[in-house]
Structure 1
């Protein structure tokens, strides 16, 4: 990788986390993410990949940037 390119294991930004609203809104984001170039990390564990008390989607794009979309823990 060149010095100016993104490499997720180098120092710097690893991922961003966003509050996605309610669970229905998060599910909508998660469902449409692949159409916008974002693939699911931990897809088999969605939406509890962060543990039983979380409701989140973990996504990565082709450049290796990761986002975490988090919802309220109750509907």
Structure 2
């Protein structure tokens, strides 16, 4: 079981804006918050966001380089996936594979794919398929 994940972000406020509402929708709660970071917890697992240290912000993150490809989260239902997709569009969040939504991951994989402010791919998968 994963204990926690910590991500460096380019702009903490932009990341908080994106992740706070999304993780709240997925039943995470704020776990810790300090002037240089924030974490969200669900069960025993938590995710931490902190600003990248000066001098380490180049090159920018890209999921196709060595390292993290994406984070995938469980949704409670297909309806939740649909609702999150609609809200992300309203918020101007970039959706990935929109032309194949909700089956971009395959005909039996009901999911939403989007990017956070640093272009980290986020996947929300319906539990019922």
**Unmatched 5+ stretches in structure 1:** none
Is it true that 1:12 corresponds to 2:67 in the alignment? Answer: yes
1:37, CA displacement in angstroms?
A: 5.0
Asked if the contact 1:40–1:58 (Cα under 8 Å) also holds between the matched residues in 2, the reply is: yes
Q: Deviations over 1:39-69 (max 9, x none)?
A: 1111011001111111101111342110110
Map 1:27-66 onto structure 2 (within 5 A): 27-36=82-91, 38-66=93-121
Q: Larger relative CO (CA 8 A, sep 6+): 1 or 2?
A: 1
Select which of 51, 58, 80 maps to 1:2.
58
**Greater share of strand residues, 1 or 2?**
2
Root mean square deviation of aligned Cα: 1.9
TM-score by length of 1: 0.79
Rg larger in structure: 2
TM-score by length of 2: 0.49
